[in-house]
Chain A
Amino acid sequence: AQSVTQPDIHITVSEGASLELRCNYSYGATPYLFWYVQSPGQGLQLLLKYFSGDTLVQGIKGFEAEFKRSQSSFNLRKPSVHWSDAAEYFCAVGVSGGYNKLIFGAGTRLAVHP
């Protein structure tokens, strides 16, 4: 069965520090992979997505993610975190052949210290 694991429930970083959020997936075929961000009291917003091609994808707000098939990973990175990046981040895998169903990870809550 498809699944997504985000090993870190909470992460705290200092403003200006680099960030990496981990995501591992389980899926038999080539996955569609997504990162969404949820600000407090808001719905989810798409940060970036990977379908095929270049394994390093760029997203909004200065985020990027790298697809590593050998490690079944799709980690999210940002070189310098801003206080406004404090939010919850969700990794998701798209189930191809179905009706655009996404399987979400449990999320990683990011806190940013000034």
Chain B
Amino acid sequence: NAGVTQTPKFRILKIGQSMTLQCTQDMNHNYMYWYRQDPGMGLKLIYYSVGAGITDKGEVPNGYNVSRSTTEDFPLRLELAAPSQTSVYFCASSQQQGGAGELFFGEGSRLTVL
């Protein structure tokens, strides 16, 4: 069972470049999330989705965009990469709402912007 799959695992970008982090889950979960993890800061929520076609901003959405055309996929788009976006990005999914359910995480995507 694959769970949550993220690609790529590593990427180096130049300032101003664009890229998309891919995330797919095979558990038929309605809820999906993108977090970024910075040293000593824990995880911060970037965007989340409660189902296909519905997305909303989290704590740190600036510089990112998302879409949710299917239940399985939740890509994260960086339009104009900046050094401040150097981070480890985690995609997660869950079945329950209301802060009550277990989140299942991908293995992360390490992004460096130079």
Contacts and interface: CB of A to CB of B under 8 A. Distances in A.
Interface of A: 4, 9, 32, 34, 36, 41-46, 49, 51, 90, 93-102, 104-107
Interface of B: 4, 31, 33, 35, 40-45, 48, 50, 56, 58, 90, 92, 94, 96-103, 105-108
Contacts of A105: 42
A104 B40 CA distance: 11
B104 to A, nearest CB: 8
Given A43-B4, A104-B43, A106-B41, A98 B103 contact: no
A40 to B, nearest CB: 11
A49 B98 contact: no
B102 A51 contact: no
A90 to B, nearest CB: 6
